[in-house]
Structure 1
């Protein structure tokens, strides 16, 4: 498979929302924080110093993830999604490999993520790619969050 990373352009903003809404609606519920970030991704992520990446395969966008700037020195790996039709094809691993490369090149940041233990495959991948569980703060940014992880390069 010829997977390629594409950086955010405003034309891709609807695909970012579409891919993420699909898994959120299937497994959880779309929270107000999700809606704000998904429907206003350029303002909420890009304009605040974050990044949005997409995975392209044969002209189709099949995956996405974002790095949301939480503080001047902390980025959250967030809104990682793979088109359901393309799951099981190692696209998530491709994205995490790209993330690792990005994190090595931008070592000035700490990288965190929030997830839910129900998403066992995702948690397994995060651990495989260098994330370790840390104490979840009392009021995490997502109601569904029951695990917080930090990337250890």
Structure 2
């Protein structure tokens, strides 16, 4: 598979939004917090100490994810999406493995994520990569979130 993963470039901000909106509309709906983050991902993720990465397959930008800074050496893995035309090629798993490697290389303490229990395939993959379910807090920013997981890095 000719897949490369590379960091954010503002020329791909529109593609980041497109990938995420397509995913959200397939499974849920775009919530106000999604709109806020996606409308200006550079200001709302990158400029706040976070990261965005893209997956390129055969010269097409087909996937992405973001790390949103939560605390010192603690990030939320979010906004992960793969173009529906390229699902089934394990691009999501490649992005997840890259994300974990990046966190390990940078000696982060942990990665957290929020998901939904109806996304059984995604939860299976998160568990396969070592994420464990933890208690979810009240008053979450996303109505769709009903499960919280973490991966301890060090």
TM-score by length of 2: 0.95
- Which range is displaced more, 9-18 or 65-74? 65-74
Shift of 1:110: 2.2
CA RMSD of the aligned region, Å?
1.0
Equivalent position of 1:78 in the other structure: 78
Equivalent position of 1:121 in the other structure: 121
Counterpart-to-counterpart distance in 1, 2:93 and 2:72: 27
- Regions of 4+ moved over 6 Å: none
Counterpart-to-counterpart distance in 1, 2:91 and 2:108: 27
Equivalent position of 2:152 in the other structure: 152
Equivalent position of 2:9 in the other structure: 9
Equivalent position of 2:27 in the other structure: 27
- SS of equivalent residue, structure 1 residue 145: coil
- Give unpaired runs (5+ residues) of structure 2: none
How many equivalent pairs are there? 153
Counterpart-to-counterpart distance in 2, 1:131 and 1:92: 15
Counterpart-to-counterpart distance in 2, 1:112 and 1:14: 25
Counterpart-to-counterpart distance in 1, 2:49 and 2:152: 22
Q: Is the 8 A contact 2:3 2:56 kept in 1?
A: yes
TM-score by length of 1: 0.96
Counterpart-to-counterpart distance in 1, 2:72 and 2:36: 21
Which structure 2 residues correspond to residues 50-89 of structure 1 after superposition, within 5 A? 50-89=50-89
Counterpart-to-counterpart distance in 2, 1:76 and 1:83: 21
- Deviations along 1:27-76, one digit per CA (max 9) or x if unpaired, are 11111100011111000000001000000011100100000012233210
